Amino acid sequence: MIKFSAVPVLAMLIAAGPGQAAPGDAADARAILEKGVAFDTVKGRGKVPAYAEYLKSALVGAGFAAGDIAIEPVGETANLHLVWKGKGNKPPMAITGHMDVVEADPKDWVRDPFKAIEDGGYLFGRGVGDNKFDVSMVVATLAKLKSSGFVPGRDIHLFLSGDEETDGTTAVLQAKQAKAAGVDFMLNSDGGGGALDTGNTPIGYGLSAAEKTYVDYRITVTNPGGHSSRPTSPNAIAQIGTAAGKISDYRFKPQINHITRASLTAEGTKIGGAMGAAMLAFAKNPSDAAAIATLSAAPGGIGQIATTCVPTMITGGHAPNALPQKAELTINCRIFPGFTVAAVTQELRALISDPAIKIEAVLEWPSPPPSPLRGDIMAAVGKAVSANRPGVAVTPVMDSGASDSVFYRALGIPSYGTSALFMREEDAFAHGLNERIPLAAIAPALRHWQVLITELAK
């Protein structure tokens, strides 16, 4: 159980405005984050249920009834679902996050990945950013609001999933529970967020309102094989190589939606130059060939204007002196929102145009359209961002996929990535080695969630 310390430390750096609830205590929030990192909630280790119990104890310690928090086992992992009953008759809102983390091999890390360690103003540890930072900040904020007597004007559902980084099965269950509860919209703590320049000056905040669909394809060729001294045609490795070349060179038809139009316009205006001009030109006319050429040539541009598919893994053959009996290629695609996996499969099949080659989608998410840019959400996020960083613009963005939001959007629940974390590009090591967050991010994050939740649950 968490003890809520009587001495706020970093939180005092940010004064509460008149009539506003004070944000949660930074020392308490940091303790929740540090304890959370110590649960190595990697797939297969069975630690998510214990972490869920720990978070539940923090919420119960702040005054929530144990009966309002369900921990549902799902295989070796688990889901956490808190229902905070509100007054009034607005439909419920939901906040989501995930409790699992990506694998981390201690041998490769400078520090123990499953111990939160402070160093040089940062907190290091696997999951300290993705997604235990925002999960801890949300839990600390809800706890603080509860213990200070706040009563929401609508029901608030907190859904924490247990396998976002791998199978994504737990969020499917929670999205259905959200739908059944009549949830009006969802705030995903594992999406969006702010950017700082190298000098820690905020340069913008991205509100994630759309997501590309992640799909892996397995492309296989099998041949009878034979002795390498008696070559025959076709050769399985050559067939797969030809297919890989075609896919690598292929460009899907450019697309635009209301989210990418807004983000390209904002980004283009900000960055200027040839790239900025191309973004603005494309936003105005998505068939502008020169703009498409410029954007397609940039790694950060091509994914924003079209579906992309790239070869990522290849295997084949079984002996140096034998004709290959089998060759296999993995293609990873990020499908533009609203387009189906089936349509992309068909396009790849036509492109490869070799009936001997088998194409199958091995891992796929749904492909829902973007969420609408609702006035209430935009206003609340704007207020939360400017509470910490006045004048910083909120720009709608499309993520390259995939998060739990797709399962909610697929059921028609508008979903928004609203992480409270502001990071410098060079500090972003989510999924990678030596993941870290700046300790100075904690106090503003508590303010962010406190404003967001109290605004939307007035």
Q: Which residues bind Zn ion (CB under 5 A)?
A: 130-131, 190
Q: Measured from the CB atom, is 130 or 427 closer to Zn ion? A: 130
Residue with tokens 């439909």: 91
CB 386, min distance to Zn ion, A: 26
What value, to the nearest 5°, has the Cα angle with vertex 303 and ends 354 and 406? 90
CB 279, min distance to Zn ion, A: 27
Q: Give the containing element (helix H, strand E) for 436.
A: strand 436-438
- Sheet-wide strand order for 117-119: 117-119, 122-124, 436-438
Q: Measured from the CB atom, is 223 or 403 closer to Zn ion? A: 403
Which of 432, 446, 337, 438 has the alpha carbon at shortest distance from 28?
446
- Residue 442 and residue 122: Cα distance in Å, rounded? 11
CB 447, min distance to Zn ion, A: 22
CB 116, min distance to Zn ion, A: 17
For residue 317 the two structure tokens come to 């053959």
Q: Measured from the CB atom, is 130 or 163 closer to Zn ion? A: 130
Q: Measured from the CB atom, is 184 or 399 closer to Zn ion? A: 399
Q: Measured from the CB atom, is 40 or 130 closer to Zn ion? A: 130
Which of 166, 122, 126 has the alpha carbon at shortest distance from 39?
126
Neighbours of 237 (CB within 10 A): 18
Stated length of the chain: 458
CB 214, min distance to Zn ion, A: 13
CB 121, min distance to Zn ion, A: 23
Amino acid at position 249, single letter: D
For residue 205 the two structure tokens come to 């905040």
CB 141 within 8 A of CB 456: no
Q: Measured from the CB atom, is 208 or 263 closer to Zn ion? A: 208
